């Protein structure tokens, strides 16, 4: 079995061969929705408006932890936004969102609107990365070993 290495910084652009316009736009939409949401969420955690403080307390966290969570979220998001570190950023964002899932399960929030919302974001993050990056596509869509 021979495998062909894909250069580390090979990220497909709109002119990439074999990519449809639909895949290009789907990748853009899947990229921008979670980025905008997480950017807003991280920024709000830094500035701590009243709804953030109330939500933190409702979830069982001290309100003073909001800026720490905001910095962590924005740092992970920054890694995701840079093509060279996008995979690391996606892994770290997935871990962050896993903590959100655990928190919502612990407090008994509704399944589809609260518990699974971080899953929806993670699927969009990885879907966009799969459409944008040939390395990720090759890894996720590779045939299983026999």
Least confident of 64-68, 77-81, 82-86, 136-140: 136-140
pLDDT tens, position by position, 31-71: 999 999 999 999 999 999 999 999 999 999 999 999 999 99
Least confident of 11-20, 31-40, 97-106, 112-121: 11-20
Tell me, yes or no, if the pTM score tops 0.85: no
In this predicted structure, what is the pLDDT of residue 13?
A: 43
Q: Give the whole-angstrom CA distance, residue 49 versus residue 17.
A: 47
Exposure letters 106-117 (e unless 16+ CB within 10 A, then b): eeeeeeeebbeb
């Amino acid at each position: 079995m021979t495998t062909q290495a894909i250069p580390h910084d090979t990220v497909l652009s709109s002119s990439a061969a074999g990519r449809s316009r639909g895949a290009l736009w789907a990748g853009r939409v899947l990229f921008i929705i979670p980025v905008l949401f997480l950017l807003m969420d991280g920024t709000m955690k830094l500035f701590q408006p009243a709804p953030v403080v109330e939500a933190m307390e409702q979830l069982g966290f001290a309100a003073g932890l909001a800026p720490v969570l905001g910095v962590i979220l924005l740092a992970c998001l920054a890694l995701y936004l840079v093509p060279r570190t996008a995979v690391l950023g996606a892994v770290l964002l997935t871990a962050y969102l896993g903590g959100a899932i655990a928190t919502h399960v612990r407090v008994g929030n509704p399944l589809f609107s609260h518990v699974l919302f971080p899953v929806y974001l993670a699927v969009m993050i990885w879907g966009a990365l799969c459409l944008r990056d040939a390395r990720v596509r090759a890894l996720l869509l590779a045939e299983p070993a026999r």
